[in-house]
Amino acid sequence: MSISIVKNFPLDHLNTFNISANAKFFYEFKTLESLKEILNHNLLKTEKSFVLGGGSNILISNDFDGIVLKNSIKGIHITKENKNHTEVEVGSGENWHEFVLWCVKKNLSGVENLALIPGSVGASPIQNIGAYGCEAKDTIKKVEFIDLESKTIKELTNSECDFSYRSSIFKKDLKEKCIITKVTFLLNKKPINNTSYGAIASELTALKIQASPQSICNAVINIRSRKLPDPQKIGNSGSFFKNPIISNKKLKKIKVEYPEIVNYKYSQTYSKIAAGWLIEMAGWKGYRKNDFGVYDKQALVLVNYGNASGNDIIELSKKIQRSVHKKFDIKIYPEVNII
Ligand code: EPU
């Protein structure tokens, strides 16, 4: 089978920030076999590579001087079922939101709170995507990947993935050492109805409907659409920064001057702070210069209104980091991967 590697390939429509950039080489893999084939190709010995999923959590700073491997491994299959649970294997190149809709349609509960998160299923365990009181780790049973060194297929169970807030082993020990090929989820036949996150409960009350996977999914879609820009219209990659985790001691100090600081309990001794609040308080919400800026409805989201470059966004993010640090003595870090 011949391998079709494309030279000088535009990435403009493959990143939700809509940044204009080219990859020196580009290859799309739809099966495990074609992925194995490219991994054994000579080009991979000399060129650096980057695996692209939904392109929703990356910021491309420049043209990519290497080979971009686009993951298009598809397939959603029920593999096991019992009275309470259904096990589903999903190809890593499937679109996350499509997978959520598939579950909701089958009345399987567990991922409905994560509706409308852009990106691919394969990216979900890497940064343990989360929203509205749920995280991917709550339903992931195991993750299959190719180990880039041995070129063999391996599998990690949920606990071996070492999940934490927006992190996992794939961001640490296995960073750049593997390509995720399949994720297995354990979904509930009985609805979980996690409406603990304030906005969902009030949205359901406003819509006058009871909690169910379908109604929660709809509520989340409504809430997200109001707060977050549609990447089809305004380039962005969701939350640009992670919510910082600081000691309760430090929080107490900041509270003296800012008693209204938005914070959540993280552990006995640490608290999570809403970075959006910090950025808004530092005066950046709605900021715009040329074609780049800070979204006016959610300060955690940096946006490209048209022709911003990756470097415009990076420079802006650095300015925001410095100003938040100066005002609150808190360091915030990108959750977006800069390549
Ligand atoms: N806030 C402000 N100003 C802002 C934005 C937020 O004051 O401009 C305050 C508000 O008080 C709000 C609180 O911060 O109540 C939290 O805001 P929000 O509910 O929008 O959530 P978030 O902490 O900003 C996180 C995730 C989102 C996820 C939402 C909903 C991170 C980095 N982001 O945002 O995930 O959708 O919770 O659960 O944890 C993403 O990762 O791309 C993403 C969008």
Shortest-distance atom of ligand 1 to CA 241? 32
Distance 114 CA to ligand 1 centre (A): 13
Domain boundary among 41, 71, 101: 71
pTM of the predicted model, to two decimals?
0.93
Shortest-distance atom of ligand 1 to CA 118? 42
Beta bridge partners of 95: 120
Q: Which domain holds residue 214?
A: 198-227
* Alpha carbon separation from 293 to 17, 234, 337 (Å, rounded): 12, 11, 18
Looking at the fold, whether 277 and 183 belong to one and the same domain comes out as no
The SS3 call for residue 198 is: helix
Half-sphere exposure of 194 (CA within 13 A, CB side): 16
Distance 302 CA to ligand 1 centre (A): 13
Looking at the fold, whether 65 and 80 belong to one and the same domain comes out as no
- How far, in Å, CA of 241 to CA of 267, rounded? 20
Give the pLDDT of the chain (339 residues) as one tens digit per residue: 468 999 999 999 999 999 999 999 999 999 999 999 999 999 999 999 999 999 999 999 999 999 999 999 999 999 999 999 999 999 999 999 999 999 999 999 999 999 999 999 999 999 999 999 999 999 999 999 999 999 999 999 999 999 999 999 999 999 999 999 999 999 999 999 999 887 899 999 988 999 999 999 999 999 999 999 999 999 999 999 999 999 999 999 999 999 999 999 999 999 999 999 999 999 999 999 999 999 999 999 999 999 999 999 999 999 999 999 999 999 999 999 999
Distance 130 CA to ligand 1 centre (A): 11
Cα angle for residues 119, 120, 122 (degrees, 5° grid): 135
Here the tokens at position 199 are: 């906005």
State the DSSP code for 98.
Answer: H
- How far, in Å, CA of 92 to CA of 176, rounded? 16
Decide: 317 and 334 in contact? Cβ < 8 Å: yes
Here the tokens at position 134 are: 């749920």
Distance 80 CA to ligand 1 centre (A): 35
Residue that is written with structure tokens 């096990």 in the block: 87
Domain annotation covers residue 44? yes
Q: What residue's CA is closest to ligand 1, atom 16? A: 274
Domain annotation covers residue 330? yes
Domain annotation covers residue 193? no
Q: What residue's CA is closest to ligand 1, atom 4? A: 276
- How far, in Å, CA of 304 to CA of 289, rounded? 10
* Alpha carbon separation from 253 to 323, 328, 339 (Å, rounded): 18, 10, 36
- How far, in Å, CA of 261 to CA of 271, rounded? 11
Shortest-distance atom of ligand 1 to CA 274? 14
- How far, in Å, CA of 63 to CA of 278, rounded? 32
Q: Ligand 1 pocket by C-beta < 6 Å: which residues?
A: 131-132, 227-228, 238-239, 242-243, 262, 274, 276-277, 280, 285, 298-300, 335
Q: What residue's CA is closest to ligand 1, atom 23? A: 274
Q: Phi/psi of residue 101, each to 5°?
A: -65, -35
* Alpha carbon separation from 10 to 158, 295, 325 (Å, rounded): 36, 26, 36
Domain annotation covers residue 132? yes
Supply the residues annotated as catalytic. Answer: 166, 239, 335
Looking at the fold, whether 87 and 165 belong to one and the same domain comes out as yes
Pocket test for ligand 1, best of 196, 236, 239 (most atoms within 8 A of CB): 239
In degrees to the nearest 10, what's the CA dihedral of 63, 66, 70, 73? -170
Shortest-distance atom of ligand 1 to CA 242? 32
Here the tokens at position 93 are: 């190149």
pLDDT given for residue 23 in this prediction: 98
Looking at the fold, whether 210 and 289 belong to one and the same domain comes out as no
pLDDT given for residue 2 in this prediction: 65
Looking at the fold, whether 54 and 92 belong to one and the same domain comes out as no
Question: Integer distance in angstroms from the first to the last C-alpha of the chain?
Answer: 31
Domain boundary among 71, 104, 119: 71
Looking at the fold, whether 173 and 215 belong to one and the same domain comes out as no
Looking at the fold, whether 60 and 83 belong to one and the same domain comes out as no
Distance 291 CA to ligand 1 centre (A): 23
Decide: 337 and 59 in contact? Cβ < 8 Å: yes
Per the structure, the count of domains in the chain is 4
Q: What residue's CA is closest to ligand 1, atom 25? A: 131
The one-letter amino acid at 108: L
Domain boundary among 50, 71, 92: 71
Looking at the fold, whether 147 and 173 belong to one and the same domain comes out as yes
Residue that is written with structure tokens 């919510």 in the block: 243
The CATH number for 55's domain is 3.30.43.10
